[in-house]
């Protein structure tokens, strides 16, 4: 009986914590279909409105190849949370560029996560509750323990590559 209860509780806990990935719905603010909550990279880049600009922006972004070897070393053990709007022009432009940089820097796919927000810059189930998201996209770099190291908000100050280097080499 004890094991059955543990298994039952475990299944309840998993189902309560799990949520739909790549959720699509009609946004009441933007009056169009958007993605909301956790997304996979594949789901994001295949979402019709996002894909319309993704392919061209990814292809046309010229990586600062002089920073790539440094980024490969600096990104080890780091994770990045990308908070974006599939409806947002800055997200449609910056996220493909950012992914091209992380691809060049050999960042593991599991080390980059995506959360899509609605027109109010909100997600469900407290996904971004403590992240203080004011603008999208927001790229949040964390250490192994999940502590925020730094972030790029809406667009880079210098370039995606140089801003990442600055974040990863900043003295705290």
Burial (0-12, 13-18, 19+ Cβ within 10 Å), 125:
exposed
pLDDT at 12 (0 to 100): 37
The whole domain housing 82 covers 21-169
Does residue 5 lie in a domain region? no
DSSP SS3 for 97: helix
> Quick one: tokens of 89?
């022009």
Does residue 7 lie in a domain region? no
d(CA 45, CA 112): 14
Does residue 120 lie in a domain region? yes
Does residue 135 lie in a domain region? yes
**Contact assessment for residue 169 and residue 150, using Cβ atoms and an 8 Å cutoff:** no
> Quick one: tokens of 120?
């109010």
| DSSP assigned state of 137 | -
pLDDT at 172 (0 to 100): 60
Can you give the pLDDT of all 172 residues of the chain as single tens digits? 444 434 444 433 333 345 689 999 998 887 899 999 999 999 999 999 899 899 999 999 999 999 999 999 999 999 999 999 999 999 999 999 999 999 999 999 999 999 999 999 999 999 998 999 999 999 999 998 999 999 999 999 999 999 999 999 997 6
d(CA 35, CA 76): 29
pLDDT at 18 (0 to 100): 55
> Quick one: tokens of 3?
């094991």
**Contact assessment for residue 116 and residue 85, using Cβ atoms and an 8 Å cutoff:** yes
Does residue 148 lie in a domain region? yes
Does residue 12 lie in a domain region? no
Q: What is the CATH number of the domain that holds 55?
A: 3.40.30.10
Does residue 143 lie in a domain region? yes
Does residue 13 lie in a domain region? no
- Quick count: other Cβ atoms within 10 Å of Cβ 113? 16
Counting the structural domains of the chain, the total is 1
- Spatial neighbors of 128 by CB under 8 A, at least 6 apart, are 83, 115, 117, 122
pLDDT at 30 (0 to 100): 79
- Spatial neighbors of 143 by CB under 8 A, at least 6 apart, are 77, 78, 79, 149
């Amino acid at each position: 009986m004890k094991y059955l209860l543990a298994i039952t509780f475990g299944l309840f806990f998993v189902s309560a914590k799990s949520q739909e990935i790549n959720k699509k719905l009609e946004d009441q603010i933007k009056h169009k279909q958007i993605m909301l909550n956790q997304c996979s990279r594949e789901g994001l880049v295949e979402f019709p409105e996002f894909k319309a600009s993704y392919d061209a922006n990814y292809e046309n972004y010229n990586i600062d190849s002089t920073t790539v070897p440094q980024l490969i070393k600096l990104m080890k053990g780091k994770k990045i949370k990308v908070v974006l709007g599939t409806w947002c022009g800055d997200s449609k432009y910056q996220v493909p560029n950012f992914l091209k940089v992380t691809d060049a820097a050999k960042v593991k796919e599991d080390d980059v996560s995506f959360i899509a927000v609605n027109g109010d810059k909100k997600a469900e189930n407290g996904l971004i509750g403590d992240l203080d998201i004011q603008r999208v996209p927001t790229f949040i770099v964390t250490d192994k323990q999940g502590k925020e190291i730094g972030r790029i908000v809406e667009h880079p100050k210098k370039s995606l590559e140089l801003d990442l280097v600055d974040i990863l080499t900043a003295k705290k």
